[in-house]
Structure 1
Amino acid sequence: MFEIFQYGFMQNAFIAAVLVSVACGIVGTYVVVKKVVSISGAISHAAFGGIGLGYLVGINPIVAAIPFSILSAISIGLINERVKISEDTAIGILWSVGMGLGVIFINLSPQYAPDLFSYLFGNILTVPRSDLILMLILDLIILFIVFLFYREFMAISFDEEFSKVVGVPAESMYILLLCLVALSVVVLIKVVGVILVIALLSIPAAINIQYTNNIKKIMIFSVILGIFLNILGLWLSFIFDLASGATIVLVLGITFAISTLLKKYW
């Protein structure tokens, strides 16, 4: 198994697997506990608009996706809190508009988009060193914000109404949490793509939440489990010549199914 890591692109892929596991383990815990998985999906698809904008203006699509994703997160947070439409309607609007903008921007772009497929479905084997640095920076930002507002995030995740009563700025914290989801989406895009981001963001935490209700333990175990399953999926995709992002997601899904059965019958 370990001989495959003698290749430079596999070393980059290994580092990327570790970095994305940090983001999905920490933020994914809040996503599952707060039950905002569908909102995370909307933000990830809206991020495609930023990828298309990157192609249009000639910059790194991942860099362009950062402000686009954050703006989408803030928009859906404000719509959910202040506009009198249902949450699923807001999700559907953001989901479709973001994807639509991405397609339009790419059509308007004078250059060909050779790696567009990897942004949709991911390809961890093509992650360059520059994207690894960006992933690391985003991970550090996520860790810093969670460390700073850990109690506030925990309060709104379990009981938002009570958190308002005790003085927690629930709306601001909720929007900030969605911004963390947006940053996590950007970290995950090159690994599993826009389409499959939800799986990596939710499955590790969903597995661990079956065994403990302690937020810190869920985060730690989700990061560790994410690293193991991402590397396993990476190795299987390399051995059997399969799409890396899809293989990683299938490994996660199978592990969740096995964990659920074990929890139910043991």
Structure 2
Amino acid sequence: MLEILEYDFIQNALLAGLLISIAAGIIGSLVVVNKITFLTGGIAHSSYGGIGIAIYLGLPVLFGATVFALITAVIIAILTLNNRNRADAIIGMMWAFGMAIGIIFVDLTPGYNVDLMSYLFGSIIAVSSDDIIYMTVLDVFIVLIVMFFYKEILAVSYDSEFAKLRGINTKFFYTLILVLASLCVVAAIKAVGLILVIALLTIPTYLAEAFSNKLSQMMIISSIFASIFTLSGLVISYLYDISSGASIIISAVVILTLVKLIKRK
């Protein structure tokens, strides 16, 4: 079993899995606590537009997805800040628009031969060295921002009205959380794909809630669970030659079920 570690693509996959897990644990905790899972799902799927545009223009796919996801996050934040009751309609519109843009630009790409399935469902074994560098930069940025603004993010996440009374710019930090979520989504594309990314953000946090009583603890424990899910899914994917993204999520659901059954007993 250990001989697979000799391969460069396995080493890249393992490193990518750990990097993604750190981001997923931190941002997943914020997504769950702020109850913005659906908003994050909209950002994830709309970022497909950035993938299509990047393919058409010959740009790095993750770069295109990042720019489009960031723009989408800001637009969704602006539109939902004063229209929370219509947030589902706004997100649905952005979701469909992004997917449509991506499909159109892919269709317009001459000599197109990129496997889009790897972006929809993930292919962590196909991660390149450039992807590793990109994920590392995103991880460092996410960690630094959360550390620097931790108190403000904590206040906004648990009691936005109280935070507003204390003079905290709740609109800015609400937008910031969505922006960080969009970056995490992009980082996780290679691992589990756009379709399954929300599961990687929410399942580890759902488990971490049972073992933590502070947001910082939840982030750390969630990152550990995400690492376990990602690495075990990677092993299953390699052994049985099946999709890495689906393997990671199946592993997460199975472990979640076992832990909940054990805790109940």
Structure-1 separation of matches of 2:180 and 2:72? 12
Structure-1 separation of matches of 2:163 and 2:113? 46
* Residue pairs, 1:141-160, within 5 angstroms: 141-160=141-160
Whether 2:229 is the aligned partner of 1:229: answer: yes
Equivalent residue letter for 1:227: S
1:19 equivalent in structure 2? 19
111-120 vs 201-210, which deviates more? Answer: 111-120
Question: Residue 199 of structure 1 contacts residue 249 of structure 1 at CA under 8 Å; is this kept in 2?
Answer: yes
Structure-1 separation of matches of 2:115 and 2:138? 22
Structure-1 separation of matches of 2:85 and 2:36? 17
TM-superposed deviation, 1:213: 2.4
* Residue pairs, 1:1-266, within 5 angstroms: 1-83=1-83, 86-263=86-263, 265-266=264-265
Secondary structure, counterpart of 1:209 in structure 2? helix
Structure-1 separation of matches of 2:187 and 2:113? 20
Q: Which runs of 5+ in 1 are unaligned?
A: none
Equivalent residue letter for 1:205: T
Q: Which runs of 5+ in 2 are unaligned?
A: none
Secondary structure, counterpart of 1:59 in structure 2? coil
Q: How many residues are treated as equivalent by the alignment?
A: 265
108-117 vs 17-26, which deviates more? Answer: 108-117
Deviations 1:203-252 (A, max 9, x none): 11111112322111111111122112211110011111111110001111
TM-superposed deviation, 1:259: 2.4
Structure-2 separation of matches of 1:84 and 1:251? 34
Structure-2 separation of matches of 1:18 and 1:221? 13
Structure-2 separation of matches of 1:40 and 1:260? 25
75-84 vs 22-31, which deviates more? Answer: 75-84
209-218 vs 130-139, which deviates more? Answer: 209-218
Question: Residue 203 of structure 2 contacts residue 253 of structure 2 at CA under 8 Å; is this kept in 1?
Answer: yes
Identity of aligned residues (%): 40
- The 1:113–1:82 alpha-carbon spacing in structure 2 relative to 1, beyond 3 Å, is farther
Structure-2 separation of matches of 1:90 and 1:213? 33
Structure-2 separation of matches of 1:213 and 1:74? 31
Structure-1 separation of matches of 2:166 and 2:113? 50
Secondary structure, counterpart of 1:86 in structure 2? helix
Structure-2 separation of matches of 1:58 and 1:33? 38
TM-superposed deviation, 1:129: 0.4
Structure 2 length as normaliser, TM-score?
0.97
Secondary structure, counterpart of 1:113 in structure 2? coil
- The 1:256–1:84 alpha-carbon spacing in structure 2 relative to 1, beyond 3 Å, is closer
Deviations 1:51-93 (A, max 9, x none): 0010111111111111110000001111111347511111111
TM-superposed deviation, 1:114: 2.2
TM-superposed deviation, 1:111: 3.2
Structure-2 separation of matches of 1:29 and 1:144? 16
Equivalent residue letter for 2:122: G
Deviations 1:150-192 (A, max 9, x none): 0111111111111111111001000011000010011000111
Structure-2 separation of matches of 1:213 and 1:171? 26
Structure-1 separation of matches of 2:93 and 2:21? 29
Structure-2 separation of matches of 1:45 and 1:251? 23
Structure-2 separation of matches of 1:98 and 1:150? 31
Structure-1 separation of matches of 2:37 and 2:194? 14
Equivalent residue letter for 2:219: M
